[in-house]
């Protein structure tokens, strides 16, 4: 009888621990969502246009991006007199990158498309993660930051570090590829600023792809500005 009692008690404790963890995960993400402006305000944003400066290999390169929420993303960077373009849509993607020796548009590979699909959404993947089909797991804390691991429907795993005071994401770490080699991609986010509608956006984003590092400084943001759908069409 004692064995049955202790076994039942262990099951209850395990169930309680699981429930507590699930509630803590929901609480952390809820506080993060609120810190970013709140789900209601973010849901009202249909398009986003940004202008910024890409700091790359000691040079400064102008950058603009267009996002139609859930439908299209386009990034244009002027570098050494040439334009690098990357487009992601809800159906696929393409790019023009003279730095790789080509001048025409080339379709993104399946892996490239999967790694960049989250750029289609205004607001980070944690906001409304369940509706996006993303699985999330609270891994505990590292220092003062909460660690939340997500897995997309394409099995892309990312670990987010959420500051325990501001509830802003300070870093995201995932696995990817660069020049055909597997690398760990680390993205640091800082200088969070509130837009006119209350949506909060990091204005300094630094990315390290296995030693190849660059940063983006955002200087201008326009929300709900009309965006020509033709910008996302792949040139023939």
- Structurally, the chain folds into a number of domains equal to 1
**Structural domain boundaries, residue 148:** 2-232
Task: List residues bridging with 191 in a β-sheet.
Answer: none
Size of the chain in residues: 236
Stated as kind and residue range, the H or E segment containing 26 is helix 2-35
- Residues contacting 81, CB < 8 A, separation 6+: none
Q: What would the two tokens of residue 150 be?
A: 């997500």
Q: What is the CATH number of the domain that holds 109?
A: 2.50.20.10
Q: What is the pLDDT along the chain (236 residues), one digit of tens a residue?
A: 434 434 443 434 344 344 334 348 999 999 999 999 999 999 999 999 999 999 987 889 999 999 999 999 999 999 888 999 999 999 999 999 988 777 799 999 998 899 899 999 999 999 999 999 999 999 999 999 999 999 999 999 999 999 999 999 999 999 876 666 678 999 999 999 999 999 999 999 999 988 889 999 999 999 999 999 999 999 98
């Amino acid at each position: 009888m004692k064995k049955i009692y202790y076994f039942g008690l262990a099951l209850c404790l395990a169930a309680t621990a699981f429930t507590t963890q699930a509630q803590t995960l929901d609480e952390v993400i809820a506080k993060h969502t609120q810190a970013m402006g709140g789900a209601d305000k973010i849901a009202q944003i249909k398009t986003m246009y940004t202008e910024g400066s890409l700091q790359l290999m000691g040079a400064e390169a102008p950058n603009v991006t267009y996002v139609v929420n859930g439908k299209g993303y386009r990034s244009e960077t002027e570098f050494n007199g040439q334009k690098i373009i990357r487009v992601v849509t809800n159906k696929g993607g393409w790019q023009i990158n003279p730095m790789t020796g080509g001048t025409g548009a080339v379709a993104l590979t399946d892996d490239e498309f999967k790694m960049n699909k989250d750029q289609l959404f205004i607001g980070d993947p944690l906001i409304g993660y369940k509706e996006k089909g993303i699985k999330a797991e609270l891994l505990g804390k590292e220092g003062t930051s909460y660690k939340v691991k997500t897995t997309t429907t394409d099995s892309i795993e990312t670990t987010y570090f959420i500051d325990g005071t501001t509830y802003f994401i300070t870093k995201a770490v995932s696995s990817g590829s660069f020049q055909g080699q597997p690398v760990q991609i680390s993205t640091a986010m800082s200088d969070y600023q509130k837009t006119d509608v209350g949506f909060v956006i990091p204005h300094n984003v630094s990315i390290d792809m296995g030693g190849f590092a660059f940063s983006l400084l955002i200087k201008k943001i326009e929300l709900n500005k009309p965006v020509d759908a033709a910008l996302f069409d792949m040139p023939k």
